[in-house]
Structure 1
């Protein structure tokens, strides 16, 4: 591996460590804050990205392929969970509906599940009635998300070919 990639890896691990320290400081201080979840999510995803890039940087095929398959399986499981989030929210709403009162706060997961299920249909109905700049904005956001969901190919100079790395932007 070229020395400049080692510098990037060190920076990535330092970034990951900084977010871990921020998360631990906030979590040990007050466990109930929402920002602790945000800081943990940043740490968690940066950790997995850094780990994947470090494994690729080893150039050890006996390590890259098994770990790569596990990584792809892990991303597949996360993708399935995100794809089924509307149904999981509705399932949670059914449990809350049976066990607790029917206040608006307790029915929030029901509302979210219904909205997530209905949004693609509502978007198709209202897109023809939106101003042109909003249509272009939604097209730009949609095309950007489709590009992010694709496969990023890293060209490492000391390997014969390109190594595909799946990035989860689900």
Structure 2
């Protein structure tokens, strides 16, 4: 058997990854994992195309064409849920292509990737639901120990309790109910499955959105506000947002010699002694940002207002088009990107790191907010599912 294609793949893959690591270490935002994944994908594309051409096949054109569709959609507007749907479909298209490739070329690489995918799916099917519940309880305990016991910080706990009740119902109660009632209640797991699919698409596009690498040619950097400690002090969470903006600000000056204006956006809450934007500006000054490069927006109370009121200030200073990005915590930047488009800004975000223990709760909160943005659509789907099972339940009751 000829292993030359696999040997060449290994040489180019390892060599490229090493070169990527050396290259990205010199950058202020290395993001080594992302660029190594990109190089790996490029190597696999050439590998599969090459071995298929050697065997007289051209089927690789189909996943490549679909990849082009996804990339076109993504770079046209990164902040839309459609990208998550397209990406997940791309994964399935690539999976079917691997099955075809194995049958045609007997590629050990394709066989290995299929084996890993099968192992992952089997693990999810065997351990997924119970493991998810255990993880949610464990995460909830950590969040409640380290954060305030607000409703927003109890989302993983509430989800764990709900899934526990569903598990108990499914294993101990469902079999004891009459058929018509069992059929009616079967609408619940179907609706749950629908919202799980929506969450999966949301999570996929949120992860993809983390890999923004804006060019160092920006005119403005918007920093989205958050609550102040004791009503007047920048919190650690807010400080991370500001630090990301400051790092990009200094990086742009270093590589392009261009000063961006950092626009601190945040109004004054009922329990705050001064507007968030003013406190954020003072923090940035203490970090060495020139006062001339700082702007303050101090009227907003929501993310959408952050974007709208910031745009108003930028429009007064400079007519569009101007180049602008925004910073927030990593779990928040996708939804903020949606609001930026609603406000008429072509702006993408860069995210500040968030403690790992807080991410599940934070993403659940963002997911709920995303669902609320399209509540009519999700309500309609839920009603249609329920109506179907009501019909099936009635038919079962009268037929029996």
Length-normalised TM-score, structure 2: 0.26
Structure 2 residue 212 is matched with structure 1 residue 135: no
Cα deviation for residue 109 of structure 1 reads 1.7
Q: Is the 8 A contact 1:89 1:112 kept in 2?
A: yes
| Cα distance, 1:119 vs structure 2 | 1.0
Aligned-residue CA RMSD (Å): 4.1
Structure 2 residue 133 is the aligned partner of structure 1 residue 86 = yes
Give the structure with higher Rg (CA).
2
Provide Cα deviations, 1:45-81, integer angstroms capped at 9, x if missing partner: 33223213321233x3867765654443343344456
1:115 equivalent among 162, 175, 180: 162
Report the TM-score when normalising by structure 1: 0.51
Tell me what 1:14 maps to: 62
Indicate whether 1:72 and 2:118 are aligned. Answer: yes
Give yes or no for contact 1:96–1:106 (8 Å, CA) kept in 2. yes
Q: Deviations over 1:86-137 (max 9, x none)?
A: 2222233233223333332332222222222221212342554466175388
Residue 23 to residue 99, structure 1, CA distance change in 2 (3 Å): farther
5+ residue gaps in structure 2? Answer: 1-55, 191-400
Alignment check: 8 A CA contact 2:98 2:111 kept = no
**1:122-161 equivalences in 2 (<5 Å):** 122-123=169-170, 124-125=172-173, 128-129=176-177, 132=180, 134-135=182-183, 138=186
Instruction: Work out whether residues 16 and 43 of structure 1, in 8 Å CA contact, stay in contact via their aligned partners in 2.
Output: no
- Aligned-partner SS, 1:106: helix
Task: Specify whether residues 99 and 126 from structure 1 end up closer, same or farther in structure 2 by C-alpha distance, changes over 3 A only.
Answer: same
Deviation string for 1:11-46 (max 9, x for gaps)?
x9626742x345434443554544433332222233
- Higher normalized helix content (fraction of residues): 1
- Conserved? CA contact 1:16–1:46, under 8 Å: no
Q: What is the distance in 1 between the residues matched to 2:115 and 2:155?
A: 37
Deviates more, 1:105-114 or 1:32-41: 32-41
Larger mean CA deviation between 121-130 and 94-103 belongs to: 121-130
Structure 2 CA distance for aligned equivalents of residues 80 and 131 of structure 1: 27
